[in-house]
Amino acid sequence: MEKLIRIFHYLSLIKYPIMLIGLYYCYRPILFDDSSFFQDINLGLIFIGLGIGLDSLKDYGKLNWLDKKVLHKPKIAKYYFIIFGLIILGLICIGIKNYLSTDDSKLKELSIGFIVVGIGLIGLLKSGIEATKNYMNRERIKTTANRVDGREQ
């Protein structure tokens, strides 16, 4: 099982080149005059959404310092997940509303990019919730073990 987790963790590292491709497409209208603004921004959003989605494959047993500050404090994590969920809901709703309500093909393309970013963020939200839940379960087990041994924290 550990080998499979390691494979998915290394597979999640593909997110970096994909995010760089997304950033390229986001900056392309600024750098080059011959590019189509909406098409490039849409491609940038799609690649960024895909990269964010791939981030959910990483091993959340190994957290960085920012993850530990947010995810290991249940009160902060609760507010973080609520705000993050509202942002995701907003992105997806804006994307769907614009896709269904406009006849302009350029805006329809851009709305698809918003939807893909929202879907990628859903995977990231799920991973964060699982990491917080796993941390809380480990702490609960550690506290229970200390009480059984006669040590109080």
Residue 17 has pLDDT above 80, yes or no: yes
Counting Cα atoms < 13 Å in the Cβ hemisphere of 102 gives: 15
pTM of the model: 0.80
Report how far residue 62's alpha carbon sits from residue 139's, in angstroms, rounded to the nearest whole number. Answer: 16
Report how far residue 139's alpha carbon sits from residue 145's, in angstroms, rounded to the nearest whole number. Answer: 10
What tokens were used for 142? 């550690």
Query: How large is the average pLDDT for residues 130-153?
Result: 72
Residue 35 has pLDDT above 80, yes or no: no
pLDDT tier for residue 148 given thresholds of 50, 70 and 90: low
Spatial contact of 31 and 25, defined as CB atoms under 8 Å apart: no
Q: What is the mean pLDDT of the chain?
A: 86
Q: Where are the domains of the chain?
A: 2-149
Residue 153 has pLDDT above 60, yes or no: no
The residue that leads in pLDDT, 78 or 89, is 89
Residue-wise pLDDT for 55-70, tens only, equals 888 877 666 777 777 7
